[in-house]
Amino acid sequence: MTYTHAMETRNTLKIDTDQDIASQLRKVGITPTQQRVQIAEILFARPQHMSADQVLALVNRDGPTASKATIYNTLGLFARKGLVREVIVDPSKVFYDSNTTIHHHFFNVDTGELTDIPADDLILNNMPELPPGTESAGIDVIFRIRSRDARH
């Protein structure tokens, strides 16, 4: 027998989904390993912003399948390949956003909650010229909000 225990207990539905994801990864030049597929599955299953910590916890919920190092390596790889967008709103944590279309964010500084703003709700006019010798690497617009009942 050449299959691993993890494969043995995997149901057919899951295999289909995983193979889907695997081919998506191959398309952008990423070798689809078991860990990468699982991480991608978690990131793209829900329309939610997740930290490395949260991904780690979900991946290993039913027994350990990926190490901390792999999570960080993989999230960084996905970001470089454009599969996810890094959102930097909290100095102590990077969020990974599986929505790579143009959009902006609310960040609740009391709760740490991060939510999307559809791009067409906000219009930027009179954009500044970039400094000479530079090119754009993205625009972040963050509305920091506070829960109104919170002590200031």
Partner DNA sequence: CAAATTTCTAGACTTGGTCGAAACTGATGA
Partner DNA sequence: TCATCAGTTTCGACCAAGTCTAGAAATTTG
**Residues making contact with a copy of itself (CB under 8 A):** 86, 88-94, 104, 106, 108-109, 115, 117, 121-128, 130-131, 133-149
d(CA 48, CA 26) in angstroms, rounded, equals 24
Which residue number, 28 or 119, has a Cβ lying nearer to DNA? 28
Whole-number minimum distance, CB 84 to a copy of itself, in Å?
A: 14
| CA neighbor of 97 nearest in space, from 33, 63, 142 | 142
The distance of closest approach from Cβ of residue 81 to a copy of itself in the complex, given in angstroms and rounded to an integer, is: 12
Smallest gap from Cβ 51 to a copy of itself, in A, equals: 10
| Of the candidates 102, 40, 121, 105, the residue with the CA atom closest to the CA atom of residue 77 | 40
User: Which of 96, 28, 20 minimizes the C-alpha distance to 58?
Assistant: 96
The dihedral built from the CA positions of residue 86, 51, 29 and 20, taken in this order, carries a sign that is negative
Q: Which of residues 24-53 bind DNA (CB under 7 A)?
A: 30-36, 51-53
Q: Closer to DNA at the Cβ: 34 or 99?
A: 34
Is residue 85 within 8 Å of 97, Cβ to Cβ?
yes
Q: Which is nearer to DNA, 113 or 118 (CB)?
A: 113
CB of 59 to a copy of itself, least distance (A): 21
The identity of residue 37, as a single letter, is V
67 forms part of the interface with DNA (CB under 7 A): yes
Of 31, 33, 92, which is closest to residue 66 (Cα–Cα)? 33
Which residues ranging from 101 to 140 are in contact with DNA (CB under 7 A)? none
Contact footprint for DNA (CB under 7 A)? 4, 30-36, 51-53, 64-70, 72-74, 76, 91-94
